[in-house]
């Protein structure tokens, strides 16, 4: 379907696509979300405003596409240990989030998504689900090294593993995001190390534990 969509007529300009998305990101940096206008993006891209509306139905959808590709540059090179891998991904994610276009656009789009189901789905597919690969990969490596226990067998084990991945993803991404955007403080290597230690060993590391955890 996607391949045979348009077989005749003048094709869409791929150069215009790139110019528009680039212009959107640079406008986000300079103006922020509230002052970003479609007319301005068109002007920066050297393109007519109508060309924007032929591709996206509104500002939100355009910005999601402009920002989603930024997250794809996240990588997880094998740094040899679970600790090093976690610290690495924390710092990479923070570096990404400290770029003005990323932080501005991500928050604005998430805000709009709170009352727009279609946009919520677009975010989940374009960003969240795609980046969970980092956690899956880091976890797999740690299990291979013996730093984490292997997944239990069977479908129950797989479901449990999926829940663990979701949890770790929310904790790491959430902590970095909150630190950068809500608390508005920088993510330093020292902070990344502290976060990693907390994740690996917990709050109670090095302390007596007089209160046993209750079974569920």
Q: What are the φ/ψ torsions at residue 118 (nearest 5 degrees)?
A: -65, -40
The whole-angstrom separation of Cα 88 and Cα 97 is 14
Of the CA atoms within 13 Å of residue 6, those in its CB half-sphere come to 5
Partner from a second copy, DNA, none binding residue 188, C-beta < 5-8 Å depending on class = none
Site mask for DNA (CB under 7 A), range 107-146, x = bound? ----------------------------------------
The whole-angstrom separation of Cα 100 and Cα 108 is 12
Of the residues 12, 124, 133, 186, which one makes contact with a second copy according to CB under 8 A:
124
Q: How far apart are the first and last CA of the chain?
A: 49
Span from 41-49, 79-87, 126-134, 151-159 in contact with DNA (CB under 7 A): 41-49
- The verdict on 100 binding DNA (CB under 7 A) reads no
Size of the site for a second copy (CB under 8 A): 72
Cβ atoms of residues 126 and 120 within 8 Å: no
Cβ atoms of residues 112 and 186 within 8 Å: no
- The verdict on 92 binding a second copy (CB under 8 A) reads no
In the complex, least distance from residue 65 CB atom to a second copy, rounded to whole angstroms: 17
Query: Which residue, 133 or 201, is less far from a second copy as judged by CB?
Result: 201
């Amino acid at each position: 379907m996607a391949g045979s969509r348009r077989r005749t007529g003048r094709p869409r300009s791929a150069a215009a696509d790139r110019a528009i998305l680039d212009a959107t990101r640079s406008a986000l940096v300079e103006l922020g979300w509230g002052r970003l206008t479609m007319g301005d993006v068109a002007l920066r891209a050297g393109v007519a405003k109508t060309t924007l509306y032929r591709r996206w139905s509104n500002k939100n959808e355009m910005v999601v596409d402009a920002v989603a590709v930024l997250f794809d540059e996240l990588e997880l090179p094998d740094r040899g240990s679970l600790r090093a891998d976690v610290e690495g991904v924390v710092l990479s994610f923070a570096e990404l989030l400290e770029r003005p276009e990323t932080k501005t656009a991500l928050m604005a789009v998430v805000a709009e998504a709170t009352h727009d189901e279609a946009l919520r789905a677009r975010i989940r597919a374009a960003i969240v689900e795609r980046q969970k690969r980092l956690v899956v990969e880091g976890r797999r490596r740690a299990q291979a090294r013996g730093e984490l226990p292997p997944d239990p067998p069977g479908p129950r084990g797989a479901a449990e593993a999926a829940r663990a991945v979701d949890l770790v993803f929310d904790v790491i991404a959430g902590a970095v995001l909150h630190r950068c955007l809500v608390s508005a403080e920088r993510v330093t290597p020292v902070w990344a190390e502290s976060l990693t230690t907390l994740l690996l060993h917990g709050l109670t590391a090095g302390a007596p534990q007089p209160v046993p955890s209750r079974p569920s």
